[in-house]
C-alpha cells in the first residue's frame, strides 16, 4: 500500500476534522478547543506531548529509530475575525469568526500526518517535532513559541510547512527555491499639530493636511526609491482623525504595512518612510511619532529541500503542475522558524473555480476544494520520512 493509499484511507477523517475545526473557529491565542483536540489526538498516537506553549500551542515529539536528525513540521491553528458568508453546511457557528485562510485544513492535515508517521515510527531515521502553532495571523505566535523554546530540546535540523493556496488550482503545487513570501512590517504613525476651529485654519497646524501629503508622498518610495527589478509595498490602511465637522483636530493617526522580499530593499523602504513622514509633517508645523513593528521575515526556501519535496510531489501526484516562479507579498511567521533551520514552505493548490471555490484568502466566502487534503497528507508524510533518510543539504 502506497503512502497515498494510506492518506486516502484517512480522507474522510481528515475532512471531518477540517470541517469540525471550520465550524468552531478560534482566534489568536484562544485556540483552546482546537489545542485540546490536537493534544489528545497526539497523546493517543503515543507522542510525547507538551501543551501551553505560547499559551495555546502544542508540541508533539515522535521518536523514530534514531534520535537525529530532527525535523519540525509546523501547522497553524488560528482563525480570523470575519463573518462567514459561504453558506456551506459546515460554516462557522461562531458569529464574527471564521477560518478564512485555511488553518483548519492545516491542523487537520497535521493530525493525519501524525497518524501516518506514528504507525511507521520504527522506520523513521530520526525525530519529528510536530508544532501546532497559535496566532499566525499577525499576532506573533511563531515569535512567542520560539521565545518559549519550541526550536530547542531537541533543536531542529530542518523545518517544513505548507499552506492551502486558493491562487493555485487543484493539482498545482508552489515549490519555489529561494524567496517565496515577503517580509512584513506594521507601522503606526501619529502626526500631531495644533487644533482649532474649522473656520479659522490659519490659527492651526492641521495634522489632516499633513497626513494627506504624507500618504501621497509615501507612494513615491516604491516608484522612485526601489530598483524596478526589485519589489516592495507601502500601504496606508487606516486613517483616523477628527471628531466633528467644524473642528481641526490635534492629531491624525495612520496605520498600515510595509512589505519586501530582500532585507536591503526593506532597509531602503524604512529609511525613506521615516524621512518622508518627518520632513513633510515638519514643514507643516507638525510633529511625528513613528512605530515600526517587524511581523515576519521573508520566507526563503532551502533549495535542497525544495528539490526533494518536488521529487516527492511528482512521485505521489505524477500529473501535478509544479510552480517554481510564484511569489506573494503575503507574510508568514513560519519565516522566523526558518531562520533557525533550513526550511521548505510549499503551497498546495486548493481552488476549484467550477465549484465556486476560488475566493481569496481572508474573504468571507473563502473555502477550498477538500480533494487537495489527502495529497497534502501524503506529500508531507513522505517528505518527512525522506528528509530524515537523506539529510538533504
Binding-site residues from annotation: 101, 103, 137, 163, 362
- With both helix axes pointing from N to C terminus, report the angle between 11-23 and 32-44 in degrees, rounded to the nearest 10: 160
Instruction: Record the cell numbers describing residue 193, joined without a space.
Output: 499639530
Rounded to 5°, the CA angle 235-236-242 comes to 175
The span from the CA of 80 to the CA of 57, in Å, is 17
Residue in 174, 182, 185, 183 with CA at minimum distance from that of residue 345: 174
* Residue set of the binding site for Mn(2+): 101, 103, 137, 163, 362
Query: Contact at 8 Å (CB) between 17 and 107?
Result: yes
- With both helix axes pointing from N to C terminus, report the angle between 103-118 and 11-23 in degrees, rounded to the nearest 10: 140
The span from the CA of 8 to the CA of 347, in Å, is 20
Rounded to 5 degrees, φ, ψ at 89 are -65, -20
The span from the CA of 338 to the CA of 335, in Å, is 5
- Buried-state track 23-40, b at ≥16 Cβ within 10 A, e below 16: bbbbbbbbbeebbebbbe
Residue in 62, 216, 45, 73 with CA at minimum distance from that of residue 127: 62
Amino acid at each position: 500500500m502506497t503512502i497515498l493509499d494510506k492518506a486516502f484511507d484517512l480522507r474522510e477523517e481528515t475532512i471531518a476534522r477540517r470541517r469540525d475545526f471550520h465550524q468552531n473557529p478560534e482566534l489568536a491565542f484562544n485556540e483552546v478547543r482546537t489545542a485540546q483536540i490536537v493534544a489528545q489526538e497526539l497523546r493517543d498516537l503515543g507522542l510525547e506531548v507538551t501543551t501551553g506553549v505560547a499559551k495555546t500551542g502544542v508540541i508533539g515529539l515522535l521518536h523514530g529509530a534514531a534520535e537525529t536528525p530532527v525535523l519540525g513540521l509546523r501547522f497553524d491553528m488560528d482563525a480570523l475575525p470575519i463573518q462567514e458568508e459561504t453558506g456551506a453546511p459546515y460554516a462557522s457557528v461562531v458569529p464574527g469568526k471564521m477560518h478564512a485562510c485555511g488553518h483548519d485544513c492545516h491542523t487537520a492535515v497535521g493530525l493525519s500526518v501524525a497518524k501516518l508517521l506514528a504507525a511507521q515510527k520504527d522506520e523513521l531515521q530520526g525525530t519529528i517535532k510536530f508544532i501546532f502553532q497559535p496566532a499566525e495571523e499577525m499576532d506573533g505566535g511563531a515569535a512567542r513559541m520560539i521565545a518559549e523554546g519550541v526550536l530547542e530540546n531537541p533543536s531542529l535540523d530542518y523545518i517544513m510547512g505548507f499552506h492551502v493556496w486558493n491562487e493555485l488550482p487543484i493539482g498545482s503545487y508552489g515549490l519555489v527555491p529561494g524567496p517565496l513570501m515577503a517580509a512584513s512590517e506594521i507601522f503606526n504613525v501619529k502626526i500631531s499639530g495644533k487644533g482649532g476651529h474649522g473656520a479659522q485654519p490659519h490659527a492651526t497646524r492641521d495634522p489632516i493636511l499633513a497626513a494627506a501629503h504624507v500618504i501621497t508622498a509615501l507612494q513615491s518610495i516604491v516608484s522612485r526609491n526601489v530598483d524596478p527589478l526589485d519589489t516592495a509595498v507601502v500601504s496606508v490602511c487606516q486613517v483616523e482623525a477628527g471628531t466633528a465637522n467644524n473642528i481641526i483636530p490635534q492629531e491624525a493617526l495612520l496605520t498600515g504595512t510595509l512589505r519586501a522580499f530582500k532585507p536591503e530593499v526593506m532597509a531602503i523602504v524604512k529609511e525613506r518612510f521615516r524621512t518622508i513622514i518627518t520632513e513633510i509633517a515638519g514643514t507643516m508645523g507638525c510633529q511625528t511619532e513613528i512605530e515600526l513593528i517587524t511581523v515576519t521575515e521573508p520566507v526563503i526556501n532551502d533549495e535542497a529541500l525544495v528539490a526533494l519535496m518536488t521529487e516527492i510531489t511528482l512521485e505521489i501526484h505524477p500529473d501535478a503542475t509544479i510552480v517554481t516562479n510564484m511569489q506573494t507579498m503575503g507574510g508568514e511567521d513560519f519565516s522566523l522558524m526558518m531562520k533557525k533551520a533550513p526550511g521548505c514552505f510549499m503551497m498546495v493548490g486548493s481552488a476549484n473555480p467550477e465549484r465556486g471555490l476560488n475566493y481569496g484568502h481572508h474573504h468571507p466566502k473563502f473555502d477550498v476544494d477538500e480533494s487537495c487534503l489527502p495529497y497534502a497528507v501524503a506529500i508531507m508524510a513522505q517528505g518527512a520520512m525522506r528528509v530524515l533518510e537523506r539529510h538533504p543539504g
